[in-house]
Amino acid sequence: MSATADAAPARPLPVLDEADTGPFWRACGEHRLTYQRRRSTGEVVFYPRGHDDADLETLDSAGRGTVYTFTVVRQHGQSFFRAHAPYTVAYIDLDEGFRILTEVVAEPGTVRIGQRVELDWEDHDGTAVPVFRPAG
């Protein structure tokens, strides 16, 4: 077999120069999980947007939250995720007031609703993907 055939499949990665989400993904590359807040109302905005809205400020999350709900993925059609299965995907309620869909890196079957989790990073060339682990 060739070296290419032996290599693990690559994770699909975001487009870093996309107008709305590019700044979010570039911040992830610096291990910063960002969200936005309206200065006038305090309303939390997530997924961060690149709209020209002077009322929005970008903040960094501390990366701590609680599992809102989850599922264990056991089958997937895309090659990276198929090789990665089984894995847990969850909605995490961050302490700052926004919810993110992400992977919880833990043994499948050990994640629970209401469980406290903390941010970790899966590094890739040019960016990083936010993942969470059970809080220790």
CB atoms closer than 10 angstroms to residue 111: 20
Domain boundaries, the chain: 11-134
Q: What is the pLDDT of residue 6?
A: 59
CA angle (105 as vertex; 29, 32 as ends), nearest 5: 25
pTM for the model: 0.87
Tell me, what amino acid is at 128?
A
pLDDT tens across 52-100, in order?
678 899 999 999 999 999 999 998 888 888 888 899 999 999 999 999 9
Q: How far apart are CA 83 and CA 89, in angstroms?
A: 15
Q: What is the pLDDT of residue 99?
A: 97
pLDDT tens across 96-110, in order?
999 999 999 999 899
Say which residues have a Cβ less than 8 Å from residue 82's Cβ, sequence separation at least 6.
9, 75, 76
Phi and psi at residue 66, to the nearest 5°:
-130, 140
